[in-house]
C-alpha cells in the first residue's frame, strides 16, 4: 500500500478523501462518461447515499454501479474502485427494499438476535446493488425525549445500546459490509462532564472499537466542550485514536465540517484534517482545498498520506476484486417474514383493562385517527420512503414495498372495521421545526406531507364512533414531526390529538389507542380514558399485520420499553437513573397476555477483586394460559444510581418453567477514574426484575479485596450460561 501511495499524485490522493453524489454524474437517467471524465478524472473515494438519493429500481442501480466501476478501471490511472455507501438501520435504504422497524422499536424487543438478522438481510441486499459500506448504526445514548433523532438509536441506557450495536456491527461485517459507529461522541447529550462522558457516553463506542472491531467512526454535528466535533482534537485524537486505540477510518457526517466562520471551507478543511477526519462527506466541499493547504504549508502531505492509507486499507478489505454487479432481477423485499417477526417483538402493550386480546371478531370497530391508515405510521426516517419524501419530495408508494397499515392489518385479520380518519396530525398553524446544526440539506427539505388522504370529518367520525362497539385510534407522529431535520416543541401527542381521543372516549365506547412515532410521548391524561394503550413506534412494512395479530391474540406481546415514558413535559428529560422522579411508564416496562412467577434465586454472592466473574441463577414460570416470553432485567445499584447490567428474553409455553443462569464479570462494576480503569471493593446491590420499577429480588453483596487497576475492560457484557 505504501508503494501505491507513492505512485499517486496529490490530486489522486485527495480524490480518495472525498465523496460525490451519483446524481451529478447522471444525464437523462443514464451515467454520463463525459461527466465522469470532467468531475472525477482522478477517481473518487465514495459515492454517497447512492440508493436513497435516487428513485432507481434495484437492477438500474446495480447497472449504474457497474458502469461507474468500469469507468474507474478503464479511464483512471490508479484504477482504485469506488466505495458506494448507504444507510441500513431499517433495511437497506433503497426503493422497494424491506423496511424493518425503526431501531428504537427493535431495542424494545430486548432481542439482539433479531437486530443481527435484520442487519444480515440488509447487508445481503446492499451487496446485491454494489454497496459494501453502511453509515450505520447510530450509537448515541439518548435520555431526552425532545431530541428528534432518538428513534434511530437503541434507547437511553449505555449497556442496552452497546449490546444491540455490537450485534448489528459484528453481523453486518461478517457479511462483508463495513459499518460506522456514529455519532462520536455525545451527540444529543447535554452532559459532557468527564466522568459521565467516559463511563456512559463513550461506553458503546468502547465496545464498538475494542470488541466489535467496527471499521469506521463518524463524529456528530454537535460541539464537544465548546469545539465542533469535526475539529475536536480532544475528541477525535485524544479520546478516539489514543484512548480507544482506533486506527481505522474516520468519516465526516454530511456537510458537518463546513467552516469555523461562514463559508470558510479552507479553514474547516485544515481543522478537520488536523483532527484526523479521513473522508469529507458527502461531496468533498471542504477537502477540495487540501491541495491548497499543502501548498500553503498549513497541513503536510504526510497527513494526507496517512488518511489515504486508511482509505485504501478499508477498500482493500471490503471491496471485491471485481466490484461490478452481475445479478439481474434483483429482489430487495425478500425479508418480509423477518420484518413481521421484528414488528411482533417490537410493539409494547402499555395498558390493558382486560379488553385485549380481542377474541370476538364480530364486534363493529371504528378505526380512526391520523396514523390509522397512513404509510407515515410505519416508516422511520432512514427508510427509503422517509428519506425520499423528506429530502426529495418523492411521495411514499405504499405498494413498493407493500406497506400494511393498522387499518389494513385489521381487515386482513378478519375484523369488521369501518374507517374514518377523523383528524390530522396537527393543525395548520403548528409547524415542525428544523433541528439546529445538522445536515445543510435540511434547509431545503420538504415540510408538507405528500401522502394523499381522503377528506375527513371530525363530526362524522364521532357519529360513527357512537354506532360502533369499540374504537381503535391511531395517533402519534410522522416524519415531519420527528426524525433527522424535524422536531417540535414538547412531547405531548401532536396538535389536538389528545382532545380527539378524549372526545372518542366520551362516547362511552371502549377506546384502544395505538401510538406511532419515534420517541416517548406524554399520554398520562389519556391513560384512564383508554381501555388499552399500545406503543407501536415505527413498526416497518408489516406493522399493521403485527398489530392486528397482537390485538386479536394470535400473537402475545413480549416487548418492553427501552426508554422511559414521561408523565408530563415538565419531567423531560427523565430516564432510568431518575428513580426519584415521576414516570408514567418506566424503563423495561411492558405487559403480556400471560403472567410470570419468579423464584429460586441464588441466595448470596461471594466475590473478590481477584476473581473474574460470579454466577447467579433463578427460575421463571409462565403461570398463565398463553405461550409467551418474559424479559428479565438485572440491575446493580451503587451510590443510589441504578444501571442495567444484563437482560434475557425467555420464551415459555403455558405453565412451563425455566431456570436461568447468568454470569456477570467484575469488569462490569469498574469505572474509569482519571484515565485509569478501576474496580473498587465495596457494597453493591444486584436487582432482578421485570422492569426497572418491578424488582422481584435483591441480592446485597460485597466485592472484597483491594482496588484493582487495569488498562481497560476485558469483558463488557453479562452472559447466559
Q: What band does 427 get if pLDDT is binned at 50, 70 and 90?
A: low
- Distance of alpha carbon 626 from alpha carbon 651, whole angstroms: 11
pLDDT tens digits for range 499-551? 999 999 999 999 999 999 999 999 999 999 999 999 999 999 999 999 999 99
Q: What domains, with CATH codes, occur in the chain? A: 2-318 (3.20.20.300), 336-566 (3.40.50.1700), 596-720 (2.60.40.10)
Average pLDDT over residues 136-152: 94
Least confident range from 5-14, 402-411, 631-640: namely 631-640
Average pLDDT over residues 260-277: 94
Q: How far is CA 401 from CA 92, 216, 332, 499, in A?
A: 12, 30, 9, 34
Strands 532-537 and 511-516: parallel
pLDDT tens digits for range 155-182? 999 999 999 999 999 999 999 999 999 9
Average pLDDT over residues 680-692: 95
Res 681 pLDDT > 80: yes
Residue 523 near residue 515, CB atoms below 8 Å: yes
DSSP strands (E only) in 114-179: 133-134
**More confidently predicted of 259 and 695:** 695
What is the DSSP secondary structure assignment for residue 448, as one 8-state letter? Answer: S
pLDDT at 446: 67
Residue 324 near residue 130, CB atoms below 8 Å: yes
DSSP calls for 481-503: TSSTT---SSSBSSTTHHHHHHH
Q: What band does 442 get if pLDDT is binned at 50, 70 and 90?
A: low
Average pLDDT over residues 233-242: 98
Which residue, chain included where needed, has cell 457497474? Answer: 66
Res 438 pLDDT > 80: no
Average pLDDT over residues 627-654: 93
pLDDT tens digits for range 76-94? 999 999 999 999 999 999 9
SS3 content of the chain, % helix, strand, coil (to 5): 30, 20, 45
Least confident range from 419-433, 464-478, 657-671: namely 419-433
pLDDT at 655: 98
Question: What is the phi/psi pair of residue 271, to 5°?
Answer: -65, -40
Q: How many CB atoms lie within 10 A of CB 648?
A: 20
Res 433 pLDDT > 60: no
Maximum distance among all Cα pairs of the chain, rounded to whole angstroms: 79
Q: 3-class DSSP state for residue 99? A: coil
Q: What band does 436 get if pLDDT is binned at 50, 70 and 90?
A: low
pLDDT at 571: 87
Average pLDDT over residues 319-328: 90
- Distance of alpha carbon 615 from alpha carbon 306, whole angstroms: 46
Residue 243 near residue 280, CB atoms below 8 Å: no
pLDDT above 70 covers what percent of the chain? 97
pLDDT at 430: 47
Res 136 pLDDT > 50: yes
Angle at 111 between CA 138 and CA 684, to 5 degrees: 90
Residue 616 near residue 603, CB atoms below 8 Å: no
Nearest to 154 by CA among 136, 135, 139: 139
Average pLDDT over residues 280-306: 98
Residue 551 near residue 356, CB atoms below 8 Å: yes
pLDDT tens digits for range 386-402? 999 888 888 999 999 99
Res 441 pLDDT > 80: no
What is the DSSP secondary structure assignment for residue 175, as one 8-state letter? Answer: T
Q: Is the pTM of this model over 0.75?
A: yes
pLDDT at 429: 41
Angle at 715 between CA 714 and CA 716, to 5 degrees: 130
Nearest to 551 by CA among 697, 347, 383: 347
Q: 3-class DSSP state for residue 203? A: helix
Amino acid at each position: 500500500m505504501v508503494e501505491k501511495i507513492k505512485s499517486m499524485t496529490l490530486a489522486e490522493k485527495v480524490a480518495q478523501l472525498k465523496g460525490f453524489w451519483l446524481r451529478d454524474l447522471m444525464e437523462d437517467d443514464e451515467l454520463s462518461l463525459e461527466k465522469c471524465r470532467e468531475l472525477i478524472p482522478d477517481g473518487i473515494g465514495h459515492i454517497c447515499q447512492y440508493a436513497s438519493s435516487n428513485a432507481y429500481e434495484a437492477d438500474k442501480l446495480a447497472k449504474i454501479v457497474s458502469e461507474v466501476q468500469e469507468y474507474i478501471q478503464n479511464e483512471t490511472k490508479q484504477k482504485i474502485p469506488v466505495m458506494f455507501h448507504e444507510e441500513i438501520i431499517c433495511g437497506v435504504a433503497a426503493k422497494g427494499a424491506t423496511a424493518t422497524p425503526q431501531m428504537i422499536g427493535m431495542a424494545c424487543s430486548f432481542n439482539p438476535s433479531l437486530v443481527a438478522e435484520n442487519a444480515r438481510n440488509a447487508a445481503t441486499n446492499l451487496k446485491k446493488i454494489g454497496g459494501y459500506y453502511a453509515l450505520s448504526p447510530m450509537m448515541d445514548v439518548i435520555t431526552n425525549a425532545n431530541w428528534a433523532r432518538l428513534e434511530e438509536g437503541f434507547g437511553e441506557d449505555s449497556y442496552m445500546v452497546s449490546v444491540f450495536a455490537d450485534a448489528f456491527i459484528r453481523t453486518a461485517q461478517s457479511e462483508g459490509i463495513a459499518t460506522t459507529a456514529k455519532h462520536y461522541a455525545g451527540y444529543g447529550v447535554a452532559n459532557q462532564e468527564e466522568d459521565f462522558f467516559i463511563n456512559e457516553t463513550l461506553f458503546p463506542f468502547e465496545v464498538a472499537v475494542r470488541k466489535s472491531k467496527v471499521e469506521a467512526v463518524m463524529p456528530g454535528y454537535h460541539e464537544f466542550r465548546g469545539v465542533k466535533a469535526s475539529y475536536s482534537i480532544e475528541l477525535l485524537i485524544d479520546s478516539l485514536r489514543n484512548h480507544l486505540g482506533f486506527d481505522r477510518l474516520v468519516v465526516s457526517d454530511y456537510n458537518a465540517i463546513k467552516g469555523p466562520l461562514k463559508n470558510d471551507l479552507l479553514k474547516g478543511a485544515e481543522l478537520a484534517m488536523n483532527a484526523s477526519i479521513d473522508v469529507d462527506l458527502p461531496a468533498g466541499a471542504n477537502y477540495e482545498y487540501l491541495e491548497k493547504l499543502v501548498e500553503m504549508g498549513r497541513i503536510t502531505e504526510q497527513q494526507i498520506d496517512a488518511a489515504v492509507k486508511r482509505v485504501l486499507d478499508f477498500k482493500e478489505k471490503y471491496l471485491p476484486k471485481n466490484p461490478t454487479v452481475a445479478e439481474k432481477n434483483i429482489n430487495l423485499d425478500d425479508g418480509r417474514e423477518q420484518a413481521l417477526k421484528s414488528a411482533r417483538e417490537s410493539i409494547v402493550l402499555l395498558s390493558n383493562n382486560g379488553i385485549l386480546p380481542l377474541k370476538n371478531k364480530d364486534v363493529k370497530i371504528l378505526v380512526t385517527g391520523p396514523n390509522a391508515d397512513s404509510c407515515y405510521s410505519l416508516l422511520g426516517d432512514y427508510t427509503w420512503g422517509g428519506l425520499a419524501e423528506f429530502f426529495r419530495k418523492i411521495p411514499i408508494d405504499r405498494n413498493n414495498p407493500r406497506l400494511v397499515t393498522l387499518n389494513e392489518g385489521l381487515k386482513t385479520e378478519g375484523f369488521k372495521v369501518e374507517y374514518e380518519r377523523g383528524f390530522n396530525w396537527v393543525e395548520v398553524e403548528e409547524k415542525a421545526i428544523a433541528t439546529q446544526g445538522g445536515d445543510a440539506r435540511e434547509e431545503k427539505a420538504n415540510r408538507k406531507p405528500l401522502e394523499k388522504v381522503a377528506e375527513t370529518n371530525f363530526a362524522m367520525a364521532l357519529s360513527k364512533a357512537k354506532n360502533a362497539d369499540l374504537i381503535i385510534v391511531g395517533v402519534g407522529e410522522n416524519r415531519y414531526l420527528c426524525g433527522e431535520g424535524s422536531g417540535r416543541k414538547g412531547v405531548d401527542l401532536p396538535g389536538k390529538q389528545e382532545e380527539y381521543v378524549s372526545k372518542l372516549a366520551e362516547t362511552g365506547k371502549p377506546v384502544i389507542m395505538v401510538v406511532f412515532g419515534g420517541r416517548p410521548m406524554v399520554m398520562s391524561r389519556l391513560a384512564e380514558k383508554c381501555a388499552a394503550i399500545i406503543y407501536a413506534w415505527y413498526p416497518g412494512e408489516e406493522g399493521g399485520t403485527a398489530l392486528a395479530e397482537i390485538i386479536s391474540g394470535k400473537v402475545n406481546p413480549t416487548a418492553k420499553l427501552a426508554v422511559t415514558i414521561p408523565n408530563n413535559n415538565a419531567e423531560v428529560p427523565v430516564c432510568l437513573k431518575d428513580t426519584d422522579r415521576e414516570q408514567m411508564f418506566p424503563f423495561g416496562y411492558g405487559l403480556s397476555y400471560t403472567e410470570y412467577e419468579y423464584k429460586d434465586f441464588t441466595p448470596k454472592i461471594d466475590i473478590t477483586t481477584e476473581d473474574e466473574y460470579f454466577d447467579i441463577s433463578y427460575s421463571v414460570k409462565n403461570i398463565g394460559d398463553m405461550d409467551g416470553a418474559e424479559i428479565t432485567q438485572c440491575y446493580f445499584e451503587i451510590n443510589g444510581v441504578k444501571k442495567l447490567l444484563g437482560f434475557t428474553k425467555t420464551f415459555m409455553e403455558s405453565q412451563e418453567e425455566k431456570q436461568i443462569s447468568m454470569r456477570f464479570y467484575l469488569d462490569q462494576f469498574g469505572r474509569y477514574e482519571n484515565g485509569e480503569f478501576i474496580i473498587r471493593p465495596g457494597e453493591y446491590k444486584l436487582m432482578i426484575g421485570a422492569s426497572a420499577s418491578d424488582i422481584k429480588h435483591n441480592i446485597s453483596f460485597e466485592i472484597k479485596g483491594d482496588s484493582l487497576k487495569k488498562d481497560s475492560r476485558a469483558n463488557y457484557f453479562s452472559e447466559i450460561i
